[in-house]
Amino acid sequence: MTEAVGSTATPERPDGDTKPARKGGKRAKKGPLARLGLFYRQIIAELRKVVWPTRRQLSTYTTVVIVFVVIVIGLVTVIDLGMTEAMKWVFG
């Protein structure tokens, strides 16, 4: 089936209904404060789902990160000093 350009016919939705789709849904009827309240309730609901680490896990992870950062700092320092010496040797 072909439609003329500029046709005002309502396109058929996947469920077979030919009514135009509503814009906004349920949220469009609520005011800004109600939407903000819903947003914060959803944040709290999501935070309740989070599995928080125990104190022991947290201290272990923190220690691992600090040790890794110190190692990377040392590596970058050695590379920087080596490159400095190489530049001094090349350019005098």
Encode pLDDT of 33-54 as tens digits: 999 999 999 999 999 999 999 9
Query: What band does 71 get if pLDDT is binned at 50, 70 and 90?
Result: very high
Q: Can you give the pLDDT at residue 17?
A: 63
* CA of residue 56 relative to chain centroid, distance: 28
Tokens found for residue 17: 């209904």
- Cβ proximity of 70 and 63 under 8 Å: no
- pLDDT at residue 63 greater than cutoff 70: yes
Q: Can you give the pLDDT at residue 15?
A: 64
- Cβ proximity of 73 and 65 under 8 Å: no
Summarize the confidence of residues 65-92 as an average pLDDT. Answer: 96
Residues 50 and 59: their CA atoms lie apart, in Å, by 18
Q: Can you give the pLDDT at residue 30?
A: 80
Of the chain, the percentage scoring pLDDT greater than 70 comes to 70
